[in-house]
Structure 1
Amino acid sequence: MKKLLFILAIAAVSCSDKQPQVQVQQTEATPSTETISKDIDARAIEKIQTFYGKYIFGREEATDSVIAQYCTNALAQKLRDDYNNEFADGGGYAIWEFRSGAQDGEDIQEVEKIEPLGESKYLVHYNDMGNKGVLTISTVVENNEILFDKIISSAE
């Protein structure tokens, strides 16, 4: 009788519906720092290209709202001050600081290449009326928007 009870007890335990619980932890796919950096670089390069295409080499006017869309308050103030130092009438921005300063030359005005330098800096190679120039643009991200923060001109 003891053997029968023992066998029934073992059978009852082995036939129970409790299975060992395996805990599976789901992980969220998060983009790597490198992926985020490449995305920011791509967005910044596109923004620089658009700015040059429309407002530096294009025919659209760099109004207050345009400057606010592309530049930090500090850079906007510097461009405004530099304009006011050049012209007594005020009310504009020294967007020529993004160019070579050429006034006469070939009918070529284009960005040839934009290189990410790291640390949110971009080297812009351009051809301004046949005068090749290089400019470094430092950017920042404010409210998920990339803005130009500083510009440093240098000869190529």
Structure 2
Amino acid sequence: MNFNYSIAGQANEQGGIIRRGQASTVQNFNLAHTVNFTGIKTALNSSLDYTNNQVGQFDNSSLGASIGVSKKILKEKMNANFGLLYNNTQSDTNSGSVFGIKLNNTYTLLQKHNFTLGMISMFRSSTDRPSNNDIMMNLNYGYSF
């Protein structure tokens, strides 16, 4: 179980005065957990995120969650991961949401070579823009020496 909180702020002070709209504060809360089932070589994870931005005269907030599962297969040479995520953002002028599906596989060959194939598909909607869907795939190779 893990909990993180961060806050950052700034202000434009001139002559000892901070005028309206010249300060900002960003706060982020994150709660995450992972449960490992060593006997079946499987792990479950989830997280909740909340961010509040007060930037000048513009405010927005974002609330999101994710869940995932990973499993070691092929004599523990491959780690397969699957996850879902959702995020909703609200501001003074619009709102939007994102739903995502993630797949990631890492294969280790001869203890030194790592191959990773990942894919994420994002489905976005917004009150001020047309809906949009993205798919991104990555193939990586790593060598340990």
TM value normalised by structure 1: 0.28
As a proportion of its length, which structure holds more helix?
1
Q: Which has the larger radius of gyration?
A: 1
